[in-house]
Amino acid sequence: MGRPRILFVDDEPNVLQGLQRMLRYMRIEWDMRFVDSGRAALDMMEQERFAAVVTDMRMPGMDGAELLAEVRRRDPGAVRVILSGYSDADSVMRTVGPAHQFLAKPCSAQVLVDVILRAFELERVLGSEHLRKLLTGLKGLPTPSDTYYTLLDYMKRPEASATGLAEIIGRDVAMTAELLKLTNSSYFGLSSRLSQPLQAVRILGFETLGALVLRIGIFRNFQGLPEMAMLVEEVNRDSFFVARVARRIARLENFDEHAQEEAYCAAMLSSIGLLVLLDQCPHDVARVKAAVAAGVDPQDAEVAVFGASHFQVGAYLLGLWGFNKAVVEAVAFLGRPSAASIGVLDIAGVVHIARVVSGPSPIYAQPAKGADIGRLPLDKAYLQSLGKDDRLVTWSAEAAVEAGRSS
């Protein structure tokens, strides 16, 4: 396999020359091309395939958002990055769909290189080229119809507020993921990553979020098979339950407040892979359900059908979108935290435990056949390595308490 080919696009000659100079040290690892317009970029794509396209936003003729939309159409597997100035907020809004990440100028060589390398490293998470193309070409996560139309209706009311918006968005995994993806981009220059919708809504402001929802269409109503719509809603409810259990366990184990919120965020977002599979591959999900009902481990069944577990699918997306490394790794290793054990109970371990004690995912649950059918197997080796075997009863009790509060 040859060096990955990267295409850089900017209409300013000085910027292109600057990029060439500061990335000179990457010539051994990357095969780089530099062009001065969107049209020239597309012409070059006729001749060569690119693993990633990095483009300025403001360019005459075809701007960065238009270019990346066309790149997505022509080659869904390419990583797409906007590298642009701070001043144009509307530009950020227009790149929500076609760009995986938005980097603000001035951007150091190391930051740019790290973003691209991290996207390439994520390819090791997925064993399926088909899945990678599906995920990099994804236009958004599906939101249950009731939530989607509730939000649209609320935004038209005179009394609508940022707090009210955050409350609606905070009940939906897909909306929360899309909102955090945007507000955690380097455009906003935040010193720490956000994990709660209200924080994100306050950063964006009511008017900006209104434009995102009503004009840009940041959120997408689920339009898949009718029989899958109910499962999307069940996954959504289950995700927030597991997130609350994860937060309770993290608090019980004396994690600081920031780590508690990271555990909550990772647990809640760990299901976005399932949402994507329900939306894009419903018939294959049905095959997995049948295998689980016959006694196959859910992760093994998913790997057999899709080439990856839904945790790996979710981690790939979160990493591609630039989410916090701790959150991405917690989702990636949720199924078997012993694969990345660092010798202490970490966020990945807390989220794994929360998923186990919360019961099986509603997608794979088989109540008539027993409570353990479809349940994620406990990583006993992980707990034994930490010397925390005796804590499982206590953690299970936390899930029971949370279930009582939620009923």
Look at residue 152 in the predicted model and tell me its pLDDT: 87
User: Is residue 381 over pLDDT 80?
Assistant: yes
* Contacts of residue 372, Cβ cutoff 8 Å, sequence gap at least 6: 360
pTM: 0.85
Region 86-104: mean pLDDT is 70
Count of alpha carbons within 13 Å of 248, Cβ hemisphere only? Answer: 22
Q: Please spell the DSSP secondary structure of 175-194, one letter per residue.
A: HHHHHHHHHTSGGG--SS--
Most distant pair of Cα atoms in the chain: their distance: 67
Per the prediction, the chain carries an average pLDDT of: 86
What is the predicted pLDDT for the residue at 92?
Answer: 63
The separation between the first and the last C-alpha atoms of the chain, rounded to the nearest angstrom, is 54
Residue % of the chain over a pLDDT of 70? 91
Which pLDDT score is estimated for 369?
A: 72
Strand order in the sheet with 101-104: 31-35, 5-9, 52-55, 79-84, 101-104
Residue 365 has pLDDT above 70, yes or no: yes
State what percent of residues in the chain have pLDDT above 90. 40
Q: Token digits for 183?
A: 């507000």
Which band of pLDDT confidence, cut at 50, 70 and 90, is reported for residue 67?
very high
Lookup: tokens for 172: 């939906």
Q: Residue 349: is its pLDDT beyond 90? A: yes
As given in the structure block, the two tokens for residue 220 are 């997408």
What's the whole-number mean pLDDT along residues 49-58?
92
pLDDT of residue 224: 78
* DSSP conformation letters of 90-101: HHHHHTTTT-SE
Q: Which of 352, 358, 399, 361 is nearest to 234 (CA)?
A: 361
Tell me the C-alpha distance between 376 and 360, whole Å: 6
Neighbour-count burial of 176, counting CB atoms closer than 10 A to its CB (0-12 exposed, 13-18 middle, 19+ buried): buried
DSSP annotation string for 367-380: GGG-TTTTPPPP-H
Q: What is the pLDDT of residue 170?
A: 85
Q: At what angle do helices 109-121 and 310-320 cross, to 10 degrees?
A: 160
Question: What is the pLDDT, as a whole number, of residue 245?
Answer: 96
The dihedral built from the CA positions of residue 364, 368, 373 and 376, taken in this order, carries a sign that is positive
pLDDT tens-digit readout, 110-136: 889 998 988 888 877 776 677 888 888
What pLDDT score was predicted for residue 266?
92
Spell out the domains of the chain, with CATH numbers in brackets: 5-124 (3.40.50.2300), 145-221 (no CATH), 226-406 (1.10.3210.10)
Q: Is residue 394 a contact partner of residue 252, using CB atoms and an 8 Å limit?
A: yes
- Reduce the DSSP state of residue 132 to 3 states and report it: helix
Backbone dihedral region of 199: left (phi > 0), alpha (psi from -120 to 50 degrees) or beta? alpha
For residue 168, pLDDT beyond 80 = yes
Query: Taking 70 as the threshold, does the pLDDT of residue 93 lie above it?
Result: no
Pairwise CA distance, residues 189 & 376, whole Å: 38
| Across 5-19, 68-82, 171-185, 237-251, least confident range | 171-185
From 77, 25, 28, 27, select the one nearest 50 (Cα to Cα): 77
Q: What is the pLDDT of residue 58?
A: 85
Residue type, 177: A
Confidence of residue 31 (pLDDT cuts 50, 70, 90): very high
Q: Are 272 and 281 in contact (CB under 8 A)?
A: no
pLDDT beyond 80 at 306: yes
